[in-house]
Structure 1
Amino acid sequence: MLIDQYGYRSGLRKVNVMEKFCFSVTTLLLCILSRSFSVSILVLLSLGWLTIRKGGIPVRRYIKLMRIPAVFLLLSTLAILVNISKTPLDAYAVPAGPYYITGSTESVIFGLRLILSSLSAVSCLYFLSLSTPVTDLIGILKKLRCPALLIELFLLIYRFIFVLMSEASAVRISQESRLSCRNFKTAVRAFGGMASALFIRAVMRSGRLYDAMESRCYDGTIRVLLEEYPPKKKEIICMILFELLLLSITIGRNIYI
């Protein structure tokens, strides 16, 4: 919910939506294709600076948002960074009985490159989501000739994420006020009760939402009022120069290799 709020309050809110979309997607593709430390660090710092400085997102909040995928990436790359073998490898080796907790220099470099590339890709997505409301993203989908059915499903699913979060929060607060989470056994029982109550409430809310849409002459198409912001030459030139810089680093690295 905070991501949605920051999207509306961002200082980049009135930048042309197609500019932000093309910039984010192009930068994301270059990060994935290059797999370079320099490109990943440059993108991570640049997109973070734009999101915090120009978008007005608090530094602590941005770090907390980045910490979520960072933890996931660290856990998922443990299989690359850590090996259990009877033969110690060249990067590090910690003896554990007859075996070694070890890793090779090549695997460590590959794991770090994978983490940095993924974090820089996440920063591209955060740049777009923290500066662009969902209603503006709908305009992009329409320009890209996305089927109306998929756009409608996207809107409904996005709406029900917040509905489910709100209902789950209300049920959770009610359970905690009755000391239903005082130990593991009661917590498991409370979780099962919350899941069943949440399912029933979600069905009821979906029925009320559909009735509200029909009362407003819903004909199978969700119409959203979009605001158009004209593109600026200065912003386009800066985007092109930045992408050319990333492309030149990528090409130069491949030639050097």
Structure 2
Amino acid sequence: MIRHFDMIAYHNRLRRLRPEQKTLFSFLLLLNTMVGSRGTHLFIIFWLAIWTIGYAGVSWKVYVKTLGMVILFLLISWPILLISLDSWHISVNRGNIPAAIDVSLRSIAAWSCLFFLLVTTPFPELLYVLKKLKIPSVMIELLFFMYRFIFVFEQAAEELYTAMKARNGGSHWRHGAMLIFQLWQKVWGAYHALLLALRARGFSDELVYIQNETGGVWSKRYIVEAIAGMGVLIWMR
């Protein structure tokens, strides 16, 4: 799934736009999500769905599938907000339902902002923008390593799962524990190999990599539409 998102980021209709424009747009909407009302959240969710599916050309099936996973995760957390335990009595606090709805809508709106940035901006370009914003190098390096090992983790998990199924691996909990242990060993081996490679190339305290100036254009049409949408959000508040 992660590799599929990365492929979409390199092959979408908004790929030609400057990464600064997409990053600024996403983070301004994310800021509105943090301080906005329920109506603001609904507007951001609907608006970014248009941008992601309509403008960027991301498959609606991918969007709906990912959104469904987010909603499922939020629904799992609802019992914590709604169920109360008092002197061994279990009760449902209906007064917390509006708060649970608000938290869920805010979470989905925030996910919409970050998902739009994920599927329209390649990760190296995002690091380039963060570097231009003078973000501390240690944070950029941590993001780089996280990005690297997400792919290592996903590939290792797929290979081990396929190998277990090919050997008639069952569904017993011991097989799952064995898979997790082997996965940890494989990821740790990849980390150790990367560490040795960095030391062999003279790594000291800072990870230095070549970052070329990214291309792309500033789209006046999308800038005007973004400003108009921001105006609507301010009016709704």
- How high is the TM-score relative to the length of structure 1? 0.80
Shift of 1:7: 0.9
Task: Give the aligned length.
Answer: 232
Please say if residues 135 and 226 of structure 1, whose CA atoms lie closer than 8 Å, have aligned partners that are also in contact.
no
Q: Any idea what the Cα deviations from partners look like across 1:54-81, whole Å, max 9, x if unmatched? A: 1111111101111112111112123334
Which is further off, 189-198 or 10-19?
189-198
Aligned partners of 1:54 and 1:178: how far apart in 2? Answer: 45
Q: Is contact 1:51–1:57 with CA below 8 Å preserved after alignment?
A: yes
| Structure-2 residue corresponding to 1:255 | none
- Structure 1 window deviating more from structure 2 (215-224 vs 63-72): it is 215-224
What is the rounded CA distance, in whole Å, between the counterparts of 1:75 and 1:203 in structure 2?
A: 31
What letter corresponds to residue 137 of structure 1 in structure 2?
L
Decide which structure has the larger Cα Rg and report it: 1
What is the aligned partner in structure 2 of residue 93 from structure 1? none
Specify which of 144, 147, 153 is matched with residue 158 of structure 1. Answer: 147
Q: Residue 23 of structure 1 aligns with which residue? A: 25
Alpha-carbon offset, residue 46 of structure 1:
0.7
- Measured in 2, the distance between the counterparts of 1:8 and 1:55 equals 11
The structure showing larger relative contact order (alpha-carbon pairs under 8 Å, at least 6 residues apart) is 2
TM-score (norm 2): 0.86
The residue type paired with residue 9 of structure 2 is G
Among 173, 180, 186, the residue aligned to 1:201: 186
Is the counterpart of residue 49 in structure 1 residue 61 in structure 2?
A: no
Q: Is contact 1:6-1:130 (8 Å) kept? A: yes
Tell me if the contact between 1:7 and 1:131 (Cα under 8 Å) persists in the aligned partners.
yes
User: What is the CA–CA distance in structure 1 between the aligned matches of 2:199 and 2:130, rounded to whole Å?
Assistant: 24
Deviation readout 1:39-98 (Å, 9 max, x if unpaired): 11111111011101111111111011111121111121233345579xxxxxxxxxxxxx
- 1:93-242 counterparts in 2 under 5 A? 102-104=92-94, 106-181=95-170, 183-184=171-172, 188-210=173-195, 220-242=207-229
**Unaligned ranges ≥5, structure 2:** none
Among 227, 230, 245, the alignment partner of 2:232 is 245
Write the deviation string for residues 103-161 of structure 1: whole angstroms up to 9, x where unpaired: 43x43222222212211111111111111110110111101111223222321221111
What are the ranges of 5 or more consecutive residues in structure 1 without an aligned counterpart? 86-98, 251-257
Cα RMSD (Å):
2.6
Give the whole-Å Cα distance in 2 for the aligned partners of 1:29 and 1:245: 15
